[in-house]
């Protein structure tokens, strides 16, 4: 008793399977996580170290070098992706090997901390850190802006803190971060002249402030039976109390600090980062969620909690949405569910039209049961509903009915010939079960390279493979169990027929096709020549197809990155960025702008990578009403910046889907000498500027910056007791201010900074008159006495490296959509640049991303193909049949080339996956056809008759499978992510169907030397 026969005889078991799959499907859909895009692990960490006062080169040599040395002891390290040395700061971005998964990273980060801790003794005095940032990949999908007219940053921060305390308790919330906070300080401003007159030094004031406002343990004392703690008063209870400190002058008189200094609380004069929402100052709140959560459900809970917390937010203060992942996910999932519904409707309509009401409804029901079972298994294995997994369901729909069509067709013919349902099921399933299983396995293996690829791109798209694996496996199970059950219940013998004499394949369309096939087999050599000609033409034509990596997202949002000349004051950067943002808001369709000045903020989407801190950098996040409006705003803001801010290096970029980077074309030069690297980068940029299709040309070292260098006189300094450290402190205090203590205000720790009044620190020309305390003379002397003058030099404020080798990147973007044509033109010219000995050129950008993604596939692709070949050989236990099948595989390029050229599509990463899946579809159909030919020959039929009869009997299943797959993909043509993949599969499968029905029989006749006979 085979499975088909068993499913009819044991109806209870069969119906139990159906009930479990259908009920489980509803359960899985309700419980499974929902995301916009699939999660993939950011296999990186950042190590940030501060070295105040050091130049970029000193940071590189004394800090970065030792950290890199320690990092290379880690076996899990893939590469030091980027090291950045800036004055006073080292920033390393390290990347770990692709084979490590999310569960491995807690242990990896622990080892990273141990390696860094073991190295710390090698760092110079004064270094702060290193700080290891291991939450680099956390996504804060709910991204909000808190602002209010008339409210201070402190008011905003207090409200944000109160909201954070409440919202972090919501089920499903992992973490909340607040961005844009402006640090407060207490400024003590005293004239240098006044200090000189009184004989008071900065150190003296600093020592008094530090000793007065400390928390010290005064001990305990026994009083009777009690043991009481002693706590003296005297700490500052207000900013005004700082002014009540008594300072001793040189004539030993005590003076109140408030009598000689202006004391006030304020925000840091030179901010580190600023955030504006629609041109108004704001703080941001980023809310991240735990992995595996239903983002939509958590979002609904948060909305409800926000309503309950309205009393916390004062009147006039608003909480605005910058990015709302739950809403985006809900829209995305709902849109895809509509696409899935449309695809299912199209598939069922095609089945009803071409297979009749009964067969169409049976196969449609089997399809729905299979989809329900797929949702159940997806939930059990933690696969969320997101762009890739839902797209996989749409792609799979046509394939899901393949097996059921073959079984239903076999049973229909037998039942209409008078055979009993049980016997029909036994024969239909028994004859095809292993061919269908082999075809299903090969169809799954065609997608295996996606699921088994270990790089980020493979991980991003891996759910495509797993959904195909689950759904196709279930489609085979339901085809050999549920389909016979339903066919036995609803199919009836044809009324008025005489059983075996009533052969449906001897009339109508089947007869026409048989005559066509017979004619093609007769002209077999001509057919082979025609196919070879088409193949050669397709290979040549493929070179004219546009190439791409990943498409842009369909989110109506884009980014304007603004780079001022290196060294620009952050306040100047802010003013220019706000003007650009104001212009953007004046454009039709622009809904809101968020301006980040001085660096990036929270990673609000997985594919968004915040930039490192720089006062010369600003980013404007622009949201429009509709996606189509971006193409109108983009050129307008480009022209505005070009005309009004010629000093800027702007980069305008869309919201991305999947991996990528700012510069689509990157030429990386590696070597030891910074001047040589800059020269090589300039040569590359000059080549880029010569091409009219290149825009946004830049390099990542930026411009050298002016540096004022006081020439310290060591001899005079020793005589006066003044050290280089004393000189540095005096200069810092004179302009920026020196931190001399801490004012404690509840949970806040405010630095107390000592500095001169504004009129004394505003003009750099006064630098020689700045006074520095001389211990030898016991008075302050002008800086001019301890320096031999001042010189202005240029320094590199950014030194970047890659894998411990200094690296500079010259980058650009194409003016059009695709980078490949421009890259091909630039590559030859840039590679012709003469490199000095010891210097290398490598390519990054989209070329590297695409190469890495394809390399990830190529690692597992051979194994997948080997298994597919072995399965096809094991199915037939012969050589010629598998050879026929595999000879047709390369011919799929004919349909792919015609489709992409005809519809002006691009061959991107998703198209590559579509081409791989097409191989599985082609092989699966060919296996079923050749298996039927072999079975009919084994039953004693003459060879040519067997070829004709078997092909005609497979005509409807093959056509139905192809038609349902092709038409089922129509809803994906409107999705920018899947459109090229859909074209690839639809056009390729259309031609592959002709190959299966016409060329496979021709090859069979050639390989087995089947003579033509008009009587067949």
Classify domain 43-136 at the CATH class level. Answer: alpha beta
- Whether the upstream peptide bond of residue 130 has omega within 30° of 0, thus cis, is yes
Place of tokens 């999908």: 141
| CATH number given to 137-184+262-290+554-656 | 3.30.70.100
More confident residue, 684 or 244: 684
Asked if pLDDT for residue 500 goes beyond 50, the answer is no
pLDDT digit string, tens, across residues 595-639: 999 998 888 887 788 888 899 999 999 999 988 888 899 999 999
User: Up-side HSE of residue 547: CA atoms within 13 Å toward CB?
Assistant: 15
Q: Is the pLDDT of residue 502 over 60?
A: no
Burial 460-497 (b: 16+ CB within 10 A, else e): bbbbbbbbbbbbbbbbbbbbbbbbbbbbbeebebeeee
Q: Among 986, 608, 651, 624, which Cα is nearest to 813's?
A: 651
Task: Enumerate the H helices of 499-587 as residue ranges.
Answer: 508-522, 524-542, 570-585
| CATH superfamily, region 3-36+328-491+511-549+851-1007 | Multidrug efflux transporter AcrB transmembrane domain (1.20.1640.10)
> Whole-angstrom distance between the N-terminal and C-terminal Cα of the chain?
35
- From the number of C-beta atoms within 10 Å of its C-beta (0-12, 13-18, 19+), residue 842 rates as middle
Task: Calculate the average pLDDT of the chain.
Answer: 86
| pLDDT on residue 501 | 47
376 bridge partner residues: none
Q: For position 552, what pLDDT does the model report?
A: 66
Residue-wise pLDDT tens digits, 305-361: 988 888 888 988 999 999 988 888 887 777 777 877 877 788 788 878 877 788 888
pTM assigned to the model: 0.82
User: How many angstroms separate the CA atoms of 510 and 499, rounded?
Assistant: 19
CA distance 298 to 325: 10
Q: Give Cα 353 to chain centroid, integer Å.
A: 43
Q: CA-to-CA distance for 744 and 558, rounded, in angstroms?
A: 42
pLDDT for position 960: 81
| CATH class for the domain made up of 191-260+705-795 | alpha beta
Residue 7 pLDDT exceeds 90: no
Distance (Å, whole) CA 684 – CA 665 = 11
Fold matches, 3-36+328-491+511-549+851-1007 and 43-136: no
Question: Domain-by-domain residue ranges, the chain?
Answer: 3-36+328-491+511-549+851-1007, 43-136, 137-184+262-290+554-656, 191-260+705-795
pLDDT at 955 over 60: yes
Contact predicate 868/447, CB 8 Å? no
Nearest CA to 694 out of 731, 665, 674, 723 is that of 665
Crossing angle (nearest 10°) for helices 387-416 and 909-938: 20
pLDDT reported for residue 843: 93
pLDDT at 582 > cutoff 50: yes
How far does CA 295 lie from the centroid of its chain? 18
Per-position DSSP letters for 140-185, written without gaps between them = --EEEEEEETT--HHHHHHHHHHHHHHHTTSTTEEEEEEE-PPPEE
Exposure class string for 883-910: b at 16+ Cβ within 10 A, else e: ebbbebbebbbbbbbbbbbeeebbbbbb
| pLDDT digits 0-9 by tens, 695-732 | 989 998 888 888 888 888 888 888 888 888 888 888 88
For the packed helices 11-31 and 482-490, what is the interaxial angle rounded to 10 degrees? Answer: 120
Token digits for 473? Answer: 């496996």
CB 293 within 8 A of CB 33: yes
């Amino acid at each position: 008793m085979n499975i088909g026969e068993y499913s009819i005889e044991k109806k209870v078991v069969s119906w139990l399977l159906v009930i479990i799959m259908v009920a489980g499907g509803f359960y899985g859909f309700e419980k499974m996580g929902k995301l916009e895009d699939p999660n993939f692990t950011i296999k990186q960490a950042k190590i940030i170290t501060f070295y105040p006062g050091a130049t970029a080169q000193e940071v590189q040599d004394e800090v970065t070098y030792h950290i890199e040395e320690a990092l290379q002891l880690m076996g899990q390290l893939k590469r030091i992706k980027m090291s950045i040395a800036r004055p006073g700061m080292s920033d390393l971005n390290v990347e770990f090997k692709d084979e490590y998964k999310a569960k491995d990273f807690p242990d990896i980060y622990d080892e990273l901390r141990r390696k860094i801790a073991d190295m710390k003794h090698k760092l110079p005095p004064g270094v702060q850190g290193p700080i290891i940032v291991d939450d680099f990949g956390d996504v804060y999908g709910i991204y909000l802006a808190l602002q209010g007219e008339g409210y201070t940053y402190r008011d905003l921060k207090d409200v944000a803190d109160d909201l954070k305390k409440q919202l972090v308790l919501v089920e499903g919330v992992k973490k909340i971060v607040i961005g844009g906070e402006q640090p407060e300080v207490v400024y003590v401003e005293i004239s240098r002249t006044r200090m000189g007159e009184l004989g008071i030094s900065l150190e003296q004031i600093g020592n008094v402030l530090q000793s007065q406002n400390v928390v010290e343990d005064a001990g305990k004392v026994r009083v009777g039976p009690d043991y009481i703690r002693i706590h003296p008063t005297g700490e500052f209870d207000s900013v005004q109390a700082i002014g009540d400190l008594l300072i001793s002058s040189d004539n030993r008189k005590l003076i109140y600090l408030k009598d000689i200094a202006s004391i006030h609380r304020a925000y840091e004069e030179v901010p580190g980062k600023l955030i504006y929402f629609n041109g108004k100052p704001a703080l941001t709140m980023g809310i991240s969620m735990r992995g595996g959560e239903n983002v939509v459900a958590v979002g609904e809970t948060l909305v409800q909690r926000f309503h309950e917390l309205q009393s916390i937010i004062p009147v006039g203060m608003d909480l605005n949405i910058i990015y709302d992942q739950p809403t985006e996910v809900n829209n995305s999932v709902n849109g895809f569910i509509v696409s899935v519904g449309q695809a299912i409707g199209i598939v069922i309509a095609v089945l009803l039209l071409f297979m009749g009401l009964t067969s169409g409804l049976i196969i449609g029901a089997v399809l729905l049961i299979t989809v329900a079972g797929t949702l159940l298994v997806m939930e059990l294995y933690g696969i969320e509903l997101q762009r890739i997994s839902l797209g996989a369901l749409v792609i799979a729909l046509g394939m899901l009915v393949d097996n059921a069509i073959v079984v239903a067709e076999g049973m229909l013919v037998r039942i209409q010939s008078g055979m009993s349902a049980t016997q029909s099921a036994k024969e239909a399933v028994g004859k095809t079960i292993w061919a269908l299983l082999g075809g299903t396995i090969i169809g799954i293996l065609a997608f295996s390279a996606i699921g088994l690829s270990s790089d980020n791109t493979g991980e991003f798209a891996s759910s495509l493979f797993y959904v195909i694996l689950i759904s196709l496996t279930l489609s085979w199970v339901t085809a050999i169990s549920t389909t016979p059950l339903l066919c036995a219940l609803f199919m009836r013998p044809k009324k008025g027929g005489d059983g075996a004499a009533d052969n449906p394949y001897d009339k109508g369309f089947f007869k026409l096709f048989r005559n066509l096939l017979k004619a093609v087999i007769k002209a077999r050599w001509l057919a082979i020549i025609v196919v070879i000609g088409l193949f050669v033409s397709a290979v040549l034509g493929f070179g004219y197809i546009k190439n791409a990596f990943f498409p842009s997202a369909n989110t109506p949002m884009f980014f304007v990155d603004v780079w001022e000349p290196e060294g620009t004051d952050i306040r100047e950067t802010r003013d220019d960025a706000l003007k650009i943002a104001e212009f953007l808001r004046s454009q039709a369709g622009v809904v809101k702008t968020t301006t980040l000045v001085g660096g990036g903020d929270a990673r609000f989407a997985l594919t968004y990578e915040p930039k490192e801190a720089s006062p010369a950098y600003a980013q404007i996040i622009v949201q429009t009403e509709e996606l189509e409006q971006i193409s109108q705003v983009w050129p307008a803001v480009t022209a505005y910046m070009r005309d009004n801010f010629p000093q800027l290096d702007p980069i305008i970029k869309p919201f991305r889907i999947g991996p990528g980077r700012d510069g689509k074309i990157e030429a990386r030069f590696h070597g030891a000498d910074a001047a040589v690297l800059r020269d090589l980068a300039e040569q590359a940029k000059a080549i880029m500027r010569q091409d009219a299709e290149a825009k946004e040309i830049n390099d990542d070292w930026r411009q050298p910056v002016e540096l004022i260098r006081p020439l310290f006189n060591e001899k005079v300094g020793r005589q006066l007791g003044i050290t280089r450290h004393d000189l540095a402190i005096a200069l810092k205090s004179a302009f920026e201010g020196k931190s001399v203590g801490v004012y404690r205000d509840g949970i806040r720790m405010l630095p107390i900074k000592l500095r001169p009044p504004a009129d004394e620190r505003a003009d750099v020309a006064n630098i020689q008159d700045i006074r520095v305390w001389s211990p030898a003379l016991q008075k302050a002397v002008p800086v001019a006495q301890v320096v031999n003058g001042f010189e202005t030099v240029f320094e590199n404020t950014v030194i970047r490296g890659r894998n411990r080798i200094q690296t500079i990147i010259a980058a650009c973007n194409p003016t059009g959509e695709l980078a490949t044509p421009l890259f091909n033109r630039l590559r030859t010219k840039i590679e012709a640049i003469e490199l000095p000995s010891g210097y290398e050129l490598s390519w990054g950008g989209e070329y590297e991303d695409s190469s890495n993604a394809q390399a990830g596939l190529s690692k597992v692709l051979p194994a997948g193909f080997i298994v597919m070949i072995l399965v096809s050989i094991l199915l037939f236990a012969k050589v010629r049949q598998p050879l026929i099948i595999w000879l047709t595989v390369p011919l799929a390029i004919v349909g792919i080339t015609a489709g992409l050229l005809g519809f002006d599509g691009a061959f991107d990463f998703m198209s590559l996956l579509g081409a791989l899946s097409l191989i599985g579809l082609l092989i699966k159909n060919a296996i079923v056809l050749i298996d039927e030919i072999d079975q009919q020959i084994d039953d004693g039929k003459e060879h040519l008759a067997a070829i004709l009869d078997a092909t005609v009997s497979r005509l409807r299943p093959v056509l139905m499978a192809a038609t349902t797959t092709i038409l089922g993909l129509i809803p994906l043509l409107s999705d920018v992510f899947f459109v090229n993949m859909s074209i690839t599969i639809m056009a390729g499968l259309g031609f592959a169907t002709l190959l299966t029905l016409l060329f496979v029989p021709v090859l069979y006749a050639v390989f087995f030397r089947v003579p033509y006979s008009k009587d067949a």
